[in-house]
Every structure is written in C-alpha cells, then in structure tokens.
Structure 1
Amino acid sequence: MSLPVTAPESPDIALSLALPAALDGRAGTNRARGGHLQIAADSDVEAVRLWLAEYAGSPHTLRSYRREAVRLLLWATRALGKPLSSLTREDFLLYEQFLAAPTGDWADPTRPRRGGTRRLFDGPLSERSRHQALGIVSGLLSYLVSAGYLAGNPLALRRRTGAAARRTRRIERYLDHALWDHVLASVEQWPRITARDHQHYERSRWLIRLLYQTGLRVSEAANAKAADFYQRRGKWWLHVVGKGGAEGEVPVSVALMADLARYRVFHGLAPMPSGNETAAAVMSVAGDPCRHLTPAAVYLIVKEVFRRAADMLETGDVAGAETLRRASTHWLRHSAASHQADAGTDLRFIQKNMRHASIQTTGIYLHAEDDQRHTDTVREPEQN
C-alpha cells in the first residue's frame, strides 16, 4: 500500500493528499444536494483543508486534527474504496475496529515516521485514543454538515459507550493536597550553585505556581504576557486567551502576585507589570523577557519538577512517587479545580475559572462528597 502523503507547506495549506479522481468525493452519496454551500469546496480534500484552516492559530490542535483526517481519508479510499463523503454508520463501525488493530503497512515499523510513505500508526489505539480520534472526526463531519457539504453526520448516531459513557466519573488525574505540598517543598531543595541553576529554579518555581493557581492550559501559560495581569477594583486578574481564541478572566491571589514579583525582580524587571510592556509571563530558557517559553518547554519543565519530587519520595511513599511520575502539566489544571472544589468554592465560579463550556464538566472535580460518603460508610475500628 502506498501512502501518498506530503507534509503541509504552511498552516493555510494544512493537507496534501493524492486521491484517485473517482474517490475524491465529488459524487459522494452523503453529499448535500440543493442547499447553499457555505465553503468553496468541490472535493473531500478541499473541504477537509478548509476545516483544518479554522485551526491555523493552534498548531498543536492542527497537527492532531490533520493526523486524524489523513488517517480517515486514506482508510476510506484504500480499505473501502469509498470517498469520505460516502461513508455510512456501518463504515464507521468498521473504522473503529480498524483503529483498535491497524495492520500491515498502516503500522509497519520499518516505514519512516515522516514523508509520503510514512506509517500512520505506531500500533493499536487505546480505548481513550479511539474515542478521541472519533470525536475529532465527528467534529469534522459536523462542520461539513453545517457548511452544506454533507447531508448528515453518520457519527451522530454513535452510542455512548466505554470512555464516553464514563465521562461523568470523578477526575482522577490530579494531585491530592499532601502531594502538591510535597512538590512545592521539593523544588525548594533544588541546587542553586551556578547562575544557570538559580535561573532554572526560579523559573520552575514560578511556572508550577502559575499553572496551579490559575488553572491555565499549557499553551495558555506559554503565550501569557506579563501585561495580562491587571487590577480591577483593587483585585488582581489574569486575562486569558484560550481554546479557539475564547477570552476569559481568572482571579489572581496576592500570594501569586508576590511570586510573580519575585520572578520578575530576579530577572531585573520591575516587581509589578505595566499594561503596555511586552515581557512574557514566563520567559524563555535564556531568560529573555521578550521571548516566551514554547508549550513543549513548559511541559518538559513541569515533568522535571514532578520527576524530581518523585525521586525524593521513592522510599517513603512508593504510590505517591508513582503518581508523580505519571503526572503532567494538565494534572496541575485538574488539581486547581479539585482543590477549589474541596475548599467549597461555588461550582459556577470554578466553571468560570476553568473556562468550561458546561458546568457538567466542572462537576467531575467534586471529591468532598465522595470522601464524606466513604468516611460515613466505612467505619474504621478505633485504635487503642
């Protein structure tokens, strides 16, 4: 099987595929007929390219969505001999089975990771990864329906099972209060012998506090500017530009502003940011105030913080150490929401702080009621 895929030249191109003319989707059986087309697309590849262009401002999302689009387009045309715009609900049942067990050239380890003949899978996708992949594809199909390109979304019929049906379970990827306190304490034991050590310590110390106190996503923290911190009615707030360019405001404590002041003074800046300065909230590894950390650098720094904290727990708390080794940046966001809920913060306020579209999403961070139910149900014998 040949996989004629070339790397995109720029975000606005985003997708380059060579599909047979008979399978380009112009005559797809699920094409909308008679309506007003909202996009200038005649073929499936052109339609998908326009969908991807909506995410040109979010490189990480763009890469993930392009990968799923390429997989689906090639599978449909190569495995079924159908264009994307002819796929039915039954076809997607087969596709879900395929994602669980891609074979042959699809996952051939001898193929390169890049280029026109690259493999598209490293192996079977987990249940969670399959759910995510189909969610992305469903978003694509819904977009094409709204655009007047497709008549319907076959995945809209999909029954919620497995991971999707369990979405209301309490979130588990967070640090309890004791582990979080240990993380903070462990950073204070980092060496500060050289100037580079000291700079890395100050940056790491500030970054984990920023992520935890504000609940920012990785990309939001990487792109945050010092000028995004501002006062209103004597209280500090952080202006955040999140997913899809959605804007929000997050309350900021006096303690976090003190941490920001410490970080800025270390780099020779004024303690408090001004509204017109261009300095990054978290500066580049070299400490240049005009350059931001990349999202990848944010991720790696936080992973290092957790790894070092785990090393300090290895003998005394094996389970805690293992939790910290699994933890990543998003765990700090989960921890922020969970700890706010534990403190009795109104669920509506947590929803705004986390910028969740639905309060049902916020509800998965409520642990206190479960803790009380466990305490009242499991009566441990008193110790003599």
Structure 2
Amino acid sequence: MTAEPAFGAFFEMLAAERNAAANTLAAYRRDLEDVAGFLTARRGSLAQASADDLRAYLGRLADNDLSPRTQARRLSALRQFYRFLVEDGRRQDDPTAALDAPKLGRPLPKLLSEEEMSALIEVCRGLDGAEGARLLAMIELLYATGLRVSELVRMPVAVMLRDQPFLTVKGKGGKERLVPLNPPAKAALAAYLEHRPRFLREGQASSFLFPSRGKEGHLTRQRFGQMLKEIGLKAGIDPARISPHVLRHAFATHLLDHGADLRSLQKMLGHADIATTQIYTHVQQERLKSLVEAHHPLAKAGKSTSRKR
C-alpha cells in the first residue's frame, strides 16, 4: 500500500481527533512529503519504509546541516504518521520505534556585555528618589551575586541587618548557600534601606527586603522584569535582550572571564549539577569565536578571498 492514500485519512484524524490547526497540518504535510520524495528517489515508499530507510533520510538532513530541532520535528511527524498506520491496521510495525531522536543541545543563554552592564547601572544612578534607589540596589545585588529573581524578590530584610561580606541565600529545595557581596552592592543597598519605609503599608512591617503594598507583600518578579526593560531602553539596550535572568547570566559569564573557576561559580549560582554551570564555558567559546571572526586580520582576509571567488 502506498503512503499517499493514507495521507488523507491521517490528516483527517489530526484535524478531527486532535483539533490540529491549519498551520500544523500544513507543516506535517510538508515534512511528510519531503520524506516521501527522498524515499521515491530511492525507489521506495513512505508506507513501506524500513527503519534503515528513515535513518538514511535523517542522516541526509544532518549532512545538509539542518538544525537538530528541524530533524526532531521531522521525526515527530514520522512517528505520528506510522503510529496512525499501525492503529488503523494499514501497517503491522512502526519503523520509527528503532530511531533515536537527535540531540537538541542546550541553547546558549542571553547575556549583556560588561559595558552594557555599566551603562545600565549608570542610568540607575541618575534616577532620583525611592524608586531609583530600589532599582539600583536590586540590579547591583543581582549583578554582584547571580541570584535567581525569585530569591531576590523574596529575600528577607534580616540578611541586611549585619554588615557582612557574604549573604546567606535560601535557594531551590530550601538549600542555603553563601554569596559574596561587593562594595558597590553594599553601598546601593545601604542607600536603599533609607527609602525602604516608603514601600511599606502604613503602620505595617514587612519581613521582605523589597516590600510592596500588593498582595504578594514583596515586589513581584514580573514588575521587576518590566522595570528592567524600561531602564534598559534608557541605557540603549534592546528590551528584548534584558531580563532578571540575563543579569544572572552576565554575573556568571563575567566572573569566568575574570578567572573564576567552575566549582566556585557552581556554588554561588546554587546549581546542583556542575553540568548546568558548564554552559557558561560554551558562551565564552562562542564569544571568542565571534571576536576572532569580526576582528582578526586573517579571518577578514579569508572572508574577502571567499567573496572574490
């Protein structure tokens, strides 16, 4: 039985039983037709394809430098198609059961350069009043410690009652860790504490370092994210590139740039597995590669030669 007659029934099932959108159906059709074209050229068919046939197709995708995500999407379409053929009695076996999904890898985190972080902080220093003092303190604290935004907004005010070079942070799973607090962050926090009563409800105390009159009792992560984008715009940074987590990434990457070791960074970030921390070494490698390609004279000469050809 050829694959083409099964296409209609397969797409009807997706539309009726899974309520697939038109764009989804079109994407599945393109993917399956691409596989069918490959198999036809090999004098085969989609309906009768073996695991080796499909493995050869996925190998061709990899040879053509299609991204792992595109390869995974094509394989997903194939899995659903053959599952339908088996359930509908059109085929006895599923050839995709023996196929391994391509490794997607982990996307590199977004981050800001040291110059962009300096610009962000300078803009904050130019702000007046309690709002400006709070925002500067939060940004200095994030950049000095690499806190998660949830740890930042829920930080108890008690951690600031004693003048210490380290903060005790309670992270995921209630695990505590020590993070260093640099002089700029300490100065910004001291200045903010003078304004902190302005953010309290009248006649009420709060255990949070960054209290709010809202129902959460502290400044929310969403509001802080909005404030960051607003200040980023004033600093000439695309708002799409900035978030609380981007500041955490900047902390980690800039520390590595200045000689910090991975184990120390793992402890400061509160990562349970050092493999999570190692993503920042890949960031370094990509930045060095981009730097060489952009500025090294031999790299530029190579590009000029290739263009002449």
TM over 0.5: yes
Matched, 1:379 2:296: yes
Q: Match of 1:267, SS?
A: helix
Aligned partner of 1:79 in structure 2 is 17
Distance 1:100 1:211 in 2: 44
Aligned partner of 1:247 in structure 2 is 176
Aligned partner of 2:152 in structure 1 is 221
Offset of residue 351 of structure 1: 0.8
Aligned partner of 2:115 in structure 1 is 178
Aligned partner of 1:283 in structure 2 is 211
Change in 2 beyond 3 A, CA 1:338/1:246: same
Give the helix-richer structure, 1 or 2. Answer: 2
Question: Once the two structures are aligned, what percentage of the paired residues are identical?
Answer: 26
**Letter in structure 2 aligned against 1:267:** R
Matched, 1:301 2:227: yes
Change in 2 beyond 3 A, CA 1:351/1:342: same
Larger Rg: 2
Contact 2:141 2:181 in 1 (8 A): no
Aligned partner of 1:348 in structure 2 is 263
Aligned partner of 1:238 in structure 2 is 168
**Letter in structure 2 aligned against 1:341:** L
Change in 2 beyond 3 A, CA 1:375/1:211: closer
Matched, 1:292 2:203: no
Which of 240, 248, 252 is matched with 1:337 structurally? 252
Contact 2:155 2:210 in 1 (8 A): yes
Which of 143, 162, 168 is matched with 1:212 structurally? 143
Contact 1:299 1:329 in 2 (8 A): yes
Matched, 1:359 2:274: yes
Q: Report Cα offsets for 1:96-146 as digits up to 9, x if no partner.
A: xx699557xxxxxxxxxxxxxxxxxxxxxxx69x99xx9xxxxxxxxxxxx
Contact 1:228 1:240 in 2 (8 A): no
Contact 1:238 1:251 in 2 (8 A): no
C-alpha RMSD of matched pairs (Å): 4.2
Q: Where do residues 1-384 of structure 1 align in structure 2 (5 Å cutoff)?
A: 79=17, 159-161=101-103, 164-165=104-105, 167=106, 171-190=108-127, 192=128, 198-229=129-160, 235-242=165-172, 244-267=173-196, 278-284=206-212, 291-310=217-236, 321-322=237-238, 324-366=239-281, 367-368=283-284, 379-380=296-297
**Letter in structure 2 aligned against 1:184:** I
Q: Report Cα offsets for 1:235-282 as digits up to 9, x if no partner.
A: 32232233x44433322223322221111023369xxxxxxx953222
**Letter in structure 2 aligned against 1:255:** P
Change in 2 beyond 3 A, CA 1:364/1:281: same
Taking structure 2 as the reference length, the TM-score comes to 0.55
Structure 2, unmatched stretches of 5+, are: 1-13, 26-68, 77-96, 199-204, 299-309
Distance 1:176 1:265 in 2: 31
Question: Of the two structures, which has the highest relative contact order with CA contacts closer than 8 Å and spacing of 6 or more?
Answer: 2
Change in 2 beyond 3 A, CA 1:267/1:231: closer
